[in-house]
Structure 1
Amino acid sequence: MEAKTVSDSEMIRLRRWNLSLTLLHAAQVIAVLVLANGFAITVTSQFPSGPPGAASPAPEPLFDVAIGPVIAVFLALAALDHLLTATVFRSRYEKDLRAGMNRFRWIEYSVSATIMVVLIGFYNGITGITAVVLVVGANVAMILFGWLQEVMNPPGRAHTTMLPFWFGCIAGAAPWVAILVNLIGASGGDANQVPGFVYGIVVSLFVFFMSFAVNQWLQYRGVGKWANYGYGEKVYLVLSLVAKSALAWQIFAGSLAV
């Protein structure tokens, strides 16, 4: 089904939404920076010390990551994205929406969503530098496939391809498989040391991340209101706010409250 063009009245409403979301994200940035303690997680290294197949040495500390400021960063990136698309880059943003895409969303997500997945990995023991790099690469690839899905399916197209969407799903699944392996492995130990809030983070954020994929699938299948690209854009805005807020405050409650 061909996507409907975003109307002028919808553009005005989307600008208001973006300005409102700027304030909501910015307020959370300030709250986290003011209220969070100095809790940090150490990223480790485990470099080979012998021939292939030799026993690996114990992981060694590489650097510490202060969790509060990292949360503030992904919230601030969202605030900046919404502010720029409502002001400085408004004309480019609206032109893109009429062309059935939003490059600013994908640029922001490629950084903010990746930081979020890395944090979820941290809380499930994925702290080795090589594993972190792989998680970053897989998640960025997922986001870029989402962008490519939009580029390859402009309004007025004769045919819709879902290949970038499905390739993105495959790439995006990898970090979550790694997270679940660690979570299930830790849960199966004799002494279960996994805090309840970690389970909450994994379950809730997995649902939210999958909701982004469902939103795009509904857009490109033209299901109901999603036949209008502007409706899918509003769903992205809501999902982004709720997912970022859920992760930020679950982590805060579990490990950053003074």
Structure 2
Amino acid sequence: MSTSPSSSTTIASGVTDDRLANLRRWNIALSVLHAAQAIAVLLLASSFAITVTSTFPTGPPGTEAPAPEALFDVGIGLAIAVFLALAAIDHFLIGTVLRGRYEADLRRGINRIRWIEYSFSATIMIVLIGFYNGITDIATIIVIIGANMAMIFFGWIQEAMNPPGREHTTMVPFWFGTVAGIAPWIAILVNLLGAETVPGFVLGIFISLFIFFMSFGLNQYLQYKEIGPWRSYAYGEKVYLVLSLAAKSLLAWQIFGGSLAG
């Protein structure tokens, strides 16, 4: 930890002017990469869509559930492009017009903009993964959205409760977020294990994206346990950037390669 030369405010470890300038270049570069992928998906995607369904009750409790009914279709190519575009906009804003707020937050050991963007993009990602494992019921989707957003916001609280210069680190928000975040994956796993057949690319999406999703949590854990290079808050921030690009790109092109191209 260090302090500002003009005040006694504690600055997060590793957040120097040089490191902030480097992070700005990374954010601009990632904005371009995400935007380019969003455009490519829109240009190459087919009209493939997955139907969101409902099984609204038709009688008293215990009545046999009706067959699912179609509510609306979700164009998969458009959905992928949207979450890539959200990431592009996020990185562009924090590299330009929101740079001052972003860097001030990093000095305080927090990145509120990151958590807001993740609450949208990561939630779209988990819903898409659920789609490919047969989770299309509207009620279940709403619950998955809520659980995933809770996980993201617990990550925000973890940072807010552990400012630089603290005498004690609490991991309570982290573990609460872990419980919330694992629930959608358990639901997806239940469907995966119960399916008669599972396409190879669907299994690949589940395994690879589960690893990446858990890597975000591991990154925060290492930050707040201050293990190795993660003693630097700025180092953890760069790892978030790398994971964000890798996870979003991997999901986009796995889904595209597996079902949209044909």
From 33, 47, 51, the counterpart of 2:56: 47
Corresponding residue for residue 9 of structure 2: none
Residue 117 of structure 2: aligned partner: 108
Per the normalisation by structure 2, the TM-score is 0.95
Identity of aligned residues (%): 70
1:98 aligns with 2:102: no
- Corresponding residue for 2:218? 214
Task: For 1:201, give the aligned amino acid.
Answer: I
Check conservation: 1:110, 1:144, Cα contact below 8 A.
yes
2:40 to 31, 45, 53: 31
C-alpha displacement of 1:159: 0.5
Aligned residue for 1:225? Answer: 229
The answer on whether the counterparts of 1:5 and 1:155 sit within 8 Å (CA) in structure 2 is: no
User: Structure 1 residue 199 and structure 2 residue 203: aligned?
Assistant: yes
CA contact (8 A) 2:14 2:235 kept: no
Aligned mates of 2:31, 2:147 — CA distance in 1: 28
Q: Secondary structure at the match of 1:43?
A: strand
* Structure 2 residue matching 1:236: 3-state secondary structure: helix
Tell me, what secondary structure is at the counterpart of 2:162? coil
CA distance in 2, matches of 1:73, 1:40: 14
1:249 alignment partner, SS class: helix
DSSP-derived class of the 1:109 partner: helix
Q: Say if 1:100 and 1:154, in contact at 8 Å, map to a contact too.
A: yes
Give the aligned residue type for 2:252.
A
* Aligned equivalents of 1:176, 1:205: Cα separation in 2: 10
Deviation readout 1:70-104 (Å, 9 max, x if unpaired): 00000000000000000000000000000001001
Partner residue, 1:245: 249
Gaps of 5+ in 1: none
In the alignment, the residues of structure 2 paired with residue 4 and residue 60 of structure 1 have an alpha-carbon distance, to the nearest angstrom, of 54
For 1:176 and 1:56, the matched residues in 2 are separated by 25
Please tell me whether residue 11 in structure 1 is matched to residue 15 in structure 2.
no
Distance (Å, rounded) in 2 between the aligned partners of 1:5 and 1:125: 44
Counterpart code for 1:63: F
Q: How far has the Cα of 1:234 moved from its partner?
A: 0.2
Alpha-carbon RMSD across the aligned residues, in angstroms, is: 1.1
Structure 2: give runs of 5+ residues left out of the alignment: 3-11
Aligned residues between the structures: 253
User: Which residue, out of 62, 69, 72, partners 1:63?
Assistant: 72
Alignment-derived partner of residue 88 in structure 1: 97
Determine if the alignment matches structure 1 residue 235 to structure 2 residue 239.
yes
Conservation of the 8 A alpha-carbon contact between 1:42 and 1:127? yes
Structure 1 position 152 matched with structure 2 position 161:
yes
Give, in angstroms, the shift of residue 5 of structure 1: 4.4
> Paired residue for 2:139?
130
Q: Which residue identity does 2:87 align to in structure 1?
A: A
SS in structure 2 of the partner of residue 158 of structure 1 = coil
2: CA distance between counterparts of 1:5 and 1:204? 31
**TM-score, normalised with respect to structure 1:** 0.97
Conserved 8 A contact 1:32-1:68: yes
Partner-residue secondary structure (3-state), 1:100: coil
Quick one: which amino acid aligns to residue 235 of structure 1?
A: V
Q: Tell whether 2:258 aligns with 1:257.
A: no
